[in-house]
Structure 1
């Protein structure tokens, strides 16, 4: 029989963490983080990492398993999540995945085949040498010609992803976009996908308030500590919540401007998350407001009880 997996998805700050605890307590669950940045140790405030008190004794996985200078790909995420699903299920518990990293969650739950995308050291080294000699822009422009959809997702400064996308094309003859489109979206799990959505203005207000709280709780000190530890050029530090404050630490930008950019980037990210989940996965959506959140949570719990009873 397929293992039952509950997944809670949606944009940042919509209320997924609190709901995941309620579901885990009600249905004998253990929680697997579906956030690709919460895997990094030391990136706590900026990733809205759950606290020990918030966990309420519920076991959590996929948190603090990597150092900030370690790479972590969608294939790595898939491997760890599927391993943790097996582990949680072996405890006779229900795996509850919660997070907003859409492609990563989809790759894990729908068993993307990454086997054709193994590294080719010869191609990688050649592309890296090209970048060292001519800079990244010629490679990025080549990617824009070959795979404009993938290029639009990647900032030119993300050298690793630019090279990786070109490497896939040279190895397989397929662009990364074409490769992903060939994937069969068939899950090895008995999936129950719950999505939370909120009026945009309300959500943006929540995002702004959350960021104000992050600043009050020491986000700038957290970024400064990571900077001083030498993690400035690591992929993890390119995440929203961290990259905005590097110019401030370098005295190239005001704190006010950094906070303003973080709020703007977080709002834009929430919009992209919502659009992605709406278009890519078959999700049961629940619209909530700050005033009706407890009522909606109860509705979700009741709906889940009925779904699980019939499976």
Structure 2
């Protein structure tokens, strides 16, 4: 199944009024700066939702995926393309040297700097990515005093594991078709360290044996080894998804982590325009309402300041946790 990010452009046209909305319009409703955090397992649509929301509110996105911070391997790491960002500024995306050992401490430092820069421009920061431990360390770090400065709205794009596993498997096949093998081959070093830097990315260690032996194996053997490597990538990606879900459920149970769950299972079961329509109705619209109420603390304020076409399209004002 292919889910297009082009809907963010449609949202930008349909939910904005003729003149841009300013974050100044809701400053009188807040006591602290506000931040939206988009969480979810790999493949659930976190990037897409962050772009959709940033098309409805004056916002910028901070990447919180520990592998997407690195330069290169755009196919393997499934980075959003320049076209897919729809002109929304993205921070911490493809900015770290491939050999560096980027840690949660590094993330907290760079994310804190990005947050200050974004709110300084009167924009809304949207943190999006699959590294939930990085998000937890940022939000609950006592030394940083994050919660004393910011109110958070946590959105969780969820998909049932059987459906997600099928989608992830298909996505890996598409990544191979797009050139995953050649991309990893260009990075390959016989003495490369798979415990640090971008080589930790799922899709890199799994290709090691194939790349070491492809020059000496016959065609049939090479095909078999490649299939085994791709299968291992699929298994490891599904394992990652399960661990990410376990982490989100743990965070959801903690004080101060009111997480709004949005079920995208039906979206991943569909294709083409049907999938886009389901995404709009099940994820994009409810999320925009949740964020609008979070920003303005009041449904009437949301009607006043958010782009009126959303309300005109019949989205309920009293949207809650899904």
Partner of residue 31 from structure 1, selected from 61, 66, 73: 61
Query: 1:268-299 CA deviation, whole Å, 9 max, x = no partner?
Result: 11011011011124211111221432211211
Partner of residue 170 from structure 2, selected from 192, 205, 209: 209
Task: List gaps (5 residues or longer) in structure 1.
Answer: 115-183
SS state of the match for residue 52, structure 1? Answer: coil
Residue 293 of structure 1 pairs with residue 291 of structure 2: no
Aligned residue number for residue 167 of structure 1: none
Task: List gaps (5 residues or longer) in structure 2.
Answer: 1-30, 215-223, 268-274, 299-322
CA distance in 2, matches of 1:84, 1:112: 19
CA distance in 1, matches of 2:169, 2:61: 27
Q: How does 1:141-152 map to 2 (within 5 A)?
A: none
CA distance in 1, matches of 2:77, 2:51: 18
Aligned residue number for residue 271 of structure 1: 242
Aligned residue number for residue 284 of structure 1: 260
Structure 1 residue 237, shift from structure 2 partner: 0.7
SS state of the match for residue 254, structure 1? Answer: helix
Q: TM-score, normalised by structure 2?
A: 0.71
RMSD: 2.1
Count the aligned residue pairs: 242
Q: 1:40–1:93: structure 2 CA closer, same or farther, 3 Å change rule?
A: same
Structure 1 residue 27, shift from structure 2 partner: 1.1
Structure 1 residue 238, shift from structure 2 partner: 2.3
CA distance in 1, matches of 2:51, 2:127: 11
Query: 1:154-173 CA deviation, whole Å, 9 max, x = no partner?
Result: xxxxxxxxxxxxxxxxxxxx
Structure 1 residue 229, shift from structure 2 partner: 9.9
CA distance in 1, matches of 2:193, 2:101: 14
CA distance in 2, matches of 1:191, 1:300: 14
- 1:17 touches 1:98 (CA, 8 Å); kept in 2? yes
CA distance in 2, matches of 1:277, 1:37: 18
- 2:65 touches 2:130 (CA, 8 Å); kept in 1? yes
Structure 1 residue 109, shift from structure 2 partner: 2.1
CA distance in 2, matches of 1:36, 1:48: 12
SS state of the match for residue 84, structure 2? Answer: helix
- 2:190 touches 2:212 (CA, 8 Å); kept in 1? no
CA distance in 2, matches of 1:309, 1:230: 54
**Which runs of at least 4 in structure 1 moved beyond 6 Å after TM superposition?**
none
CA distance in 1, matches of 2:194, 2:205: 10
Structure 1 residue 22, shift from structure 2 partner: 0.7
Q: How does 1:10-21 map to 2 (within 5 A)?
A: 10-21=40-51
Q: TM-score, normalised by structure 1?
A: 0.73
SS state of the match for residue 92, structure 1? Answer: coil
- 2:156 touches 2:261 (CA, 8 Å); kept in 1? yes
CA distance in 2, matches of 1:185, 1:228: 40
Partner of residue 52 from structure 1, selected from 82, 99, 103: 82
